[in-house]
Amino acid sequence: MEIAGRFKARRLAMNLTQEGVAARSGVSWSSLKRFERTGLIALDSLLRVALVLNCLSDFEKLANDNSSMGSAKSLDDILSEPRARKKGRIK
């Protein structure tokens, strides 16, 4: 719901109505209204609204920024790592 609140605040700061954003983005007014109320929206609709609100570039950071993950590993690298023991042995 936090994201929906930020989108609503941005829309209001840009002095746009829900109807105006819906018309410009191609997202139905009812979907936009539901998103602002509940936080639920399809990803493609969210990206269309982000384009209208001039914040689409923020989504590019999600996929491109590996700095928070350290060095990215491939799935093969992860699967080939030895598994750490989770239980001790009885001697």
Give the domain CATH number at 6.
Answer: 1.10.260.40
Of 20-24, 53-57, 68-72, give the lowest mean pLDDT range. Answer: 68-72
Asked whether residue 27 is assigned to any structural domain, the reply reads: yes
Instruction: Tell me whether residue 10 is in a domain.
Output: yes
User: Across residues 42-52, what is the average pLDDT?
Assistant: 94
Q: Radius of gyration (Cα) for the chain, nearest Å?
A: 21
What is the residue range of 33's domain?
Answer: 2-60
Report the amino acid identity of residue 56: L
**pLDDT tens digits for range 71-86:** 666 767 767 777 776 6
Sign for the CA dihedral angle at 9, 43, 47, 52 comes to: negative
Residue type (1 letter), 77: D
CA distance 85 to 53: 50
